[in-house]
Structure 1
């Protein structure tokens, strides 16, 4: 089951804002009735601050909400305040993992390595260990474990995650972890491409310049939750979430173009198998 308090909090914030507006109230008129400051109510409505069930019940009283809607919103509030599975591994609710945990589909373009959702444990370990911010001991074990847990949704019978990925051919030739690790990784990649939830395409080097040449990116979709797509870009010193609709739309367009010039899925698997055979 999908569970991610970050996305649920955003969903709850949007609903509470819509209920206030439907009640014909501004933030300035509603806040005193809730014993909130206008700034606090604004933070709640923008998902910058959490809110508990008691406060949400007060808000629904003030906004005139009742019936089945009441129970639905209370349940959503509990979900928004629940701790995601990643908390047990030292991760907070602000990074990529909570977003992916709620996503229905991920469009992932990678340049220099195999996508995290398709990595073997040995490949992931070698890749994570190469970081200049290298985790040591338990930290590295933890990060590899988190990556493997994320992959479980690709084969989950309940709310599975759909992965559409375009991988630069360069990533297939980079011997992360050495020849044996890389061969096992490529074999795993070819096998994973057969999953109903996975669409793998390789962008051959011969394509030359293309719209995605400036770097990797991810677009996450949240079907059924009423939330807009979110873009995500990781860079050497951190990461950034992209939420402006025009920027996310641009990312979707670029991804669509990359898919149009990449090899088909069968051609991509054949190339992966040829590279693996050469190791």
Structure 2
């Protein structure tokens, strides 16, 4: 499994810090965390102008990509504040700031996220250390709560990143995304049903093998990370790749979202791999879990 650690740092503000050590060159890791194609492969659909002052858009709906006319309207917006590839002179750094993360005009502190990519020098022998810092320069209750609540999502994403870099070091990815139908009930209840069907009950340890067969087909692989409402799996079937499956509140309104939930799946595989399941097949699989 991967060497990934997360903690909240209260030095000069409040920051979620997630560190991942990976055995790939720093330049390769930087491409994955600091380009639109790279970020889209392990995090969310993204567009990026790779320069200081450039715009970053990240999709909130995993099924709506940059080619959709609705993408910009449904994406979070950030501005690039640092962009430097790793070199003989030092670590690579990519940072951006989101000023309207709670909505346009809301009086909130800017949310700052950065990635540093450097040679590791760690006893494990891993070549590169990737350090994510995401949070606020001012320590407020809202900022602390937001940073702490982002830990699960960022840790999940960093496991996707580490597996992608390790299993597919040459890059190039085909992404298939799907959503289940919206289901009545809580996120906790829907995830409990899905986790049971997958064979990953609460407390499942990384390295656990799963093999879940249903009418829609067989999904098998190894658990990389599991938390309440989400899991990252290194799949061997129906294809070789990284599967991120998670549950979230859903509905047409805020009140409806308190009593309805939805499952999402995001499968990344090598770009030249045979494509066995399309988004419709993955959707049917998600519906079978729910």
State the TM-score, normalized to the length of structure 1.
Answer: 0.23
State the TM-score, normalized to the length of structure 2.
Answer: 0.23
Return the structure number with greater strand share: 2
Higher Rg: 1
Return the structure number with greater helix share: 1
